[in-house]
Amino acid sequence: MNQLDTKKIAFITGGNRGIGLETARQLGQIGIFPVIGARSAAAGKEAVAILKREGIEADSLEFDLSSKPHQQKVYDYFAARTGQLDILINNAGVYLEGEPSVVDLYSTSTVPENVLRDTLEANFLAPVALTQKLLPLLRKSPAGRIVNLSSILASLTLHSDPQSPIYGSVAVAYNTSKTALNSYTVHLAKELRDSTVKINSAHPGWVQTSMGGRVAPMNVVDGAKTSVRLATLPADGPNGGFFHLGETLPW
């Protein structure tokens, strides 16, 4: 019997490095088969090799967020091999406005249109398109789970509070893209409320990755924990929430 006949299976975009790879690792450690989406086929294969050396079986797919053919290829892969998908983690994203808390390239009034467009495409439009493509397969799972990697920087409540720790963040393209993704989480959760599929937004924390930058205080092990928790929620778990390490965050 193929191992995919007996294991839950997860697709993790941007799963070849950073939080994505650590998420694949932690899912693999609890018996879930991770399939890594990576922009480079070689990078995906290297990530699979890393996990295999640790005793974790995995697979990878070449996946560019903005590519409709790649989205179809992902659908065809799971439809052919398992007929369903248990977990989708929309992990891949971009930050095009410098280095968090170190270098701000633009102010809110000067951020270029192309930065806004490229950020919204990668962090909002592409994950929504992929989710819509894969949702029929997630509905076939007895416990489908969707995790949208958001950020505390998406919180309009905290951005509106001069006393909050994120009040000074000026990355309007990134922040807005994650706010939009949170909005999609809420709306899709409402549609899925009577199904076996749950969707939630995760704030991984400010993590030491190529995106998070050099002064980030968290390591990737802790940064992956929120995604893993939301990917493995029980039937009575939350739907349509925004979480960090078990704590609910304000919209």
Structural Rg of the chain based on CA atoms: 17
User: What pLDDT score was predicted for residue 1?
Assistant: 32
User: What pLDDT score was predicted for residue 119?
Assistant: 98
User: What pLDDT score was predicted for residue 6?
Assistant: 64
Spans of all domains in the chain: 3-248
User: What pLDDT score was predicted for residue 217?
Assistant: 53
User: What pLDDT score was predicted for residue 231?
Assistant: 98
Q: Is the pTM of this model over 0.85?
A: yes
User: What pLDDT score was predicted for residue 210?
Assistant: 54
User: What pLDDT score was predicted for residue 218?
Assistant: 61
* CA distances for 144 relative to 24, 29, 139, 196, angstroms: 17, 19, 6, 6
Per-residue pLDDT of the chain (251 residues; tens, 9 = 90+): 355 556 899 999 999 999 999 999 999 999 999 999 999 999 999 999 999 999 999 999 999 988 999 999 999 999 999 999 999 999 999 999 998 777 899 999 999 999 999 999 999 999 999 999 999 999 999 999 999 999 999 999 999 999 999 999 999 999 999 999 999 999 999 999 999 999 999 999 865 555 554 565 567 899 999 999 999 999 999 999 999 999 999 99
User: What pLDDT score was predicted for residue 103?
Assistant: 82
- 3-248 placed in CATH 3.30.60.50: no
